[in-house]
Amino acid sequence: MPLLNGNTFTLGSLEPEGSQFNSLDLSQAEEKPKRVLIETKVKLNLDQKKWLHHEAHLELEKNLGANTWLCKLNDATAVIDLSLLRGQDFVKDARDVPLDLKIQPELKNSETKEAIHTVDIVLYEKQSNDSISQLSEDIARRGSVDIVTMAFRRENSIIRLELPQSKLSEVAMDPRVSAIEKVHELALHNNVAREVMHADVLVNNTRFRGKGEIITVADSGFDKGSMVDTHPAFAGRVKSLIAVGRQKSGQTDDRVGHGTHVCGSALGNGSSEVMGGDIQGTAPEAELIIQALADENNRVFGRSSYLLTQLLDMAYEQGSRVHTNSWGPNWDTLTEQVPYNNASTDIDNFVWANPDMVVCFSAGNDGRERTKRGHIGGQAAAKNCITVGSCDNQRPAKDVHCMHFDATGVAKGNPSNVSGFSSRGPTWENRMKPDVVAPGSMILSAKTRAASITVKENFGVSTDPLWYFNTGTSMATPLVAGCAAVLRQALIESKASASPSAALIKAMLINGARDMGKRREEQGFGRVDLNNSFTLSKYMGDTAAKGTLKTTLVWTDIADAVLQHEVILRVTVNYDNKIETKSGTLNGPDGGSVVNAVGQVLWENLPRDAIVTVIVRLDSVLLDVTKSQRFALVWSVSEQNQ
């Protein structure tokens, strides 16, 4: 079914035109509607797109799935003619955009009309200073709120304010409003892990450890907040400290302990005699940029004016191409899963515009919460990021639940188990997430030396004051970010790619991941294995009779909840005068439209003299973008001797 702002619908089920405008006179709107919903009988061809462009004066703005499109006028003097559209042979139906589809489902669950919500009013276009002034007056009138309570974000394209339940529809009536989204409070979601992930990459006697790469960690803060007096695991490798949550004071120290631990998992390089020797992250020679998110009350972002797009921009300008985030929306037992929203849009837009920027997000720690569909949402639902879940570590533990243990425990964890706390997919949009998993339980990493902090030892006892244990998808994510940095270094230094794309890094991580035999919604494509990701065997050995071919496709898509460009992966095998074909396209769990910007084909028992053809086809594309579509294709062959 089509999807708009988290709402599933069919055009035939929508209310007739006019019935939605009874709460406020439409004549008060300063602009006529510029957008319309169109459902076509089949996928649009080029001639039909040209007709829409030249005759109906419409551009395809968003693919909503199931041959349904959100279109906008391309001529300021034109008006939308529903009768003209419905009269075309290829058009099944055309409707105005209903108010109800502008409001996210979670905002419709309130039991009282007097409930007050903090919301983001997302606008179709960025506004000038003059136009935002008029628009804010209109929103204030419709919502019965004071203009001074509004915050303007993302270049005047989002207005954040508190709005009563009873006023949501009236604000949605403004034709400049694209969506009304609930604002969620954000929360912050070693060598044993390195062994599980086979993080030592050795190629032609060269060991890759992230040298020359810069990893940006957006988290609570860093150690003492000093670039000079640093935790010994990061000596000489801190490139920049940026105050985000405590913007006014400029403080970046880690008063929570979370951020320093995350940094250690990504790129720490230290040791402890009492804790077993070397303690390293997956990229122990990479440099570090810290963006300290915690405010004075240890809230993520707090009242900071920074947006995620700005954080990504700052990191990119300083040469960082890996950005890791171990935070996301708090689980709300009333509204449950968060849909794709303006934060997801920011990530997808940034990677689309900067295709070499790898963005990692933790899946979340809500795996034990009851849910109708899945847990993963918000930032982690972005198509162009790498979403990381947690598997168990193999570190000795006192009990299989990993709640309490010490360094001399009595049982080992099983890395082939998905951690119970790890948030499951699919996303609200039925997209398969997480992408991969990595060890997230019982992770030993760097401990902040901030004087005011006493780290709780809920997940293990460390006898070294510089190191402590922690558990969560927060711990798994930086391990994968470090792997991304190592892959970038290896590709650049081996001259395989001067500027590896985020799609290529994601494809390599997914292709090398080890399937743990769990559902895709739990493990994604499996547990990251760095060595397996880089040492991709293109051909079978001379003695192998059969092999297993794994082919992975990843592409960068335009921002929106539904795939805007559908790319199809097909593998054809010709052997003994027989031709077989497998598709790597990943549909939603309900078998509906393609929803994943990842495809994979696994072909076992492949005869060595078979002829293999891999086909990548662009199946659906918006009209107003270039005809080219970036993608990465990775394959490997493993031998089968029987």
Instruction: Label residue 77 exposed, middle or buried (CB < 10 Å: 0-12, 13-18, 19+).
Output: exposed
Q: What is the DSSP letter of 332?
A: B
Q: What is the pLDDT, as a whole number, of residue 33?
A: 81
HEC readout, 498-541:
CCCCHHHHHHHHHHHCECCCCCHHHHCCCECCHHHHHCCCCCCC
The pTM of the full predicted model, rounded to 2 decimals, is 0.89
- Return the bridge partners of 445, or none: 468
Q: Confirm whether 219 is a catalytic residue.
A: yes
pLDDT at 410: 40
5: left (phi over 0), alpha (psi -120 to 50) or beta: left
Q: 57 pLDDT band (50/70/90 cuts)?
A: very high
Query: Across residues 494-509, what is the average pLDDT?
Result: 95
Which tens digit of pLDDT belongs to each residue from 514-572? Answer: 999 999 999 999 999 998 898 766 666 666 778 889 999 999 999 999 999 989 999 99
What local confidence, expressed as pLDDT, does residue 208 receive?
A: 87
More confident call, 208 vs 376? 376
* Residue written as token pair 């960068």: 556
Choice between 587 and 61, residue whose per-residue pLDDT is larger: 61
Cβ–Cβ under 8 Å, residues 241 and 257: no
Q: Examine domains 187-512 and 537-640 and report if their fold is the same.
A: no
Q: What is the mean pLDDT of the chain?
A: 86
The active-site residue out of 474, 533, 593, 636 is 474
Tell me the domain boundaries of the chain.
Answer: 3-102, 107-182, 187-512, 537-640
Percent of the chain with pLDDT over 90: 62
Catalytic residue among 258, 261, 375, 565: 258
Higher local confidence (pLDDT), 188 or 329: 329
Q: What are 251-273's pLDDT values in tens digits?
A: 999 999 999 999 999 999 998 88
Q: How confident is the model at residue 336 (pLDDT cuts 50, 70, 90)?
A: confident
Catalytic annotation, pick one of 100, 174, 219, 557: 219
- Cis peptide bond upstream of 426, omega within 30: yes
| CATH of segment(s) 537-640 | 2.60.120.380
Q: Is the pLDDT of residue 28 over 80?
A: no
pLDDT higher than threshold 90 for residue 163: yes
Provide the pLDDT for residue 18.
Answer: 46
CA-CA distance, 244 to 311, in Å (whole number)?
9
For residues 308-326, average pLDDT: 97
Q: How far apart are CA 280 and CA 487, in angstroms?
A: 17
Is 54 considered catalytic here? no
Active site residue 462: no
List beta partners, residue 163.
117
Q: What is the pLDDT of residue 404?
A: 39
d(CA 554, CA 633): 7
Residue 27 predicted with pLDDT over 70: no
Angle at 21 between CA 19 and CA 25, to 5 degrees: 140
pLDDT at residue 501, rounded to an integer: 98
203 or 297: which carries more pLDDT confidence?
297
Of the candidate CATH numbers 3.30.70, 3.30.750, 1.10.287, 1.20.1070, the domain formed by 107-182 belongs to: 3.30.70
Peptide bond before residue 434 is cis, with ω within 30 degrees of 0: yes
- Tell me which of 287-291, 504-508, 594-598 is least confident: 594-598
CATH code of the domain made up of 187-512: 3.40.50.200
Question: Tokens standing for 224?
Answer: 């003492």
How confident is the model at residue 277, as a pLDDT? 85
Judge whether 90 and 168 are in contact, CB under 8 Å. Answer: no
Q: Taking residues 136-151, what's their average pLDDT?
A: 92
Nearest-angstrom CA–CA distance, 270 and 278: 6
Query: Is 412's pLDDT higher than 60?
Result: no
